[in-house]
Structure 1
Amino acid sequence: MEHEFWHRRWANKEIGFHEGSVNEYLYRHWPELAGKDTGAVLVPLCGKAHDLWWLHDRGHPVIGVELSEIACKDFFEEGEEKAMVQPGEPFTVFRHENLQIWNGDFFQLVPDDLSHVKLVYDRAALIALPPEIRQQYVDHLTAVTPENTRILLITLDYEGSPTSPPFNVSNDEVYELYAEDYQIEHLHTQTLANDHPFAKRKGLQGASESVFRLTRR
């Protein structure tokens, strides 16, 4: 998606993808992904997700990457915490203790930025991207993270051809995108009730969310 698309969505508060609470699958499946590891976590395209605070509160240094400056500011304001802001290129860094949000383009990350990161949480990155960009995203994520990186990936699948995110990503596509470089474990799939906020808003039938654990070979 073009940068302007996302800037406009945040400026107009068109952020139906924002959950407003800690994701249930993060709470349920993170312990089996991370175990006792409290190492640094990368959260790509993080928005202002409460999930970052949850990870931080469990002892993880957190690096979120987010294009929208509005999202970065809102995150700390809504969390009632002040952030130190370090302007720079290609990222301006918002920092509170060991929780950071890097404000800029995910595709500007380089391996030196993430040499210490071996855990990734992706709830809203892959499904935010249209099909033609997803392989580029996966390839870049693989290029900038170390070997043996573990990823908790949450996807959304539904019928239709959406023109805006969140997009549908099938389980088969997850294998197509990641199988070359990752061991893939399908942990869970849950059908969304018809009165689920997203399903109801989009008028979807039979939408489902899936959870995967990916381990870099």
Structure 2
Amino acid sequence: DRAALVALPKPVRIRYTQHLLELTNRAKQLVVVFEYQQSEFSGPPFSVVADELHQHYDAFYQLTLLCKEPLEGGLKGQVPAMNVVWHLS
């Protein structure tokens, strides 16, 4: 999942992740998200933190953090952000 989850507001992300589980038959995935102070930038893209990913996927996957690094120039040049990659297996 690259850029889809972060494009959706939080209430829609719940339905999206459920749909993705059905669509992929729970296949292994890479999920790429941004983490930043949501109150400083209204989105999209939206901040999706680890706790939220665990809420969506813990019942179906083991989540492994692969990479977490600062997003060069920040998010749209407006707010410091982290680029985060997770493996769902």
Q: Tell me what 1:25 maps to.
A: none
Equivalent residue number for residue 158 of structure 1: 36
Greater RCO (CA < 8 Å, at least 6 residues apart) = 2
Find out whether 1:209 has 2:83 as its counterpart. yes
Q: Which residue pairs with 1:124 in the alignment?
A: 3
Contact 1:171 1:210 in 2 (8 A): no
Which of 53, 61, 67 lines up with 1:182 in the alignment? 61
Q: Could you list the per-position Cα deviations for residues 131-167 of structure 1 after superposition, in whole angstroms to 9, with x for gaps in the alignment?
A: 11111111111112224x1111100011133443100
The answer for the alignment partner of 2:17 in structure 1 is: 138
**TM-score, length-scaled by structure 2:** 0.86
Structure 1 gap ranges (5+): 1-121
Root-mean-square deviation (Å): 1.6
Q: How many residues align?
A: 88
SS of the aligned residue for 1:212 comes to strand
TM-score normalised according to structure 1 size: 0.38
Larger Rg: 1
8 A contact 1:188–1:210 mirrored in 2: yes
Partner of 1:48: none
Indicate if the aligned counterparts of 1:152 and 1:212 stay in contact, CA closer than 8 A: yes
Judge conservation of contact 2:31–2:86 (CA < 8 Å) in 1: yes
| Distance of 1:146 and 1:160 partners within structure 2 | 31
Contact 2:69 2:84 in 1 (8 A): yes
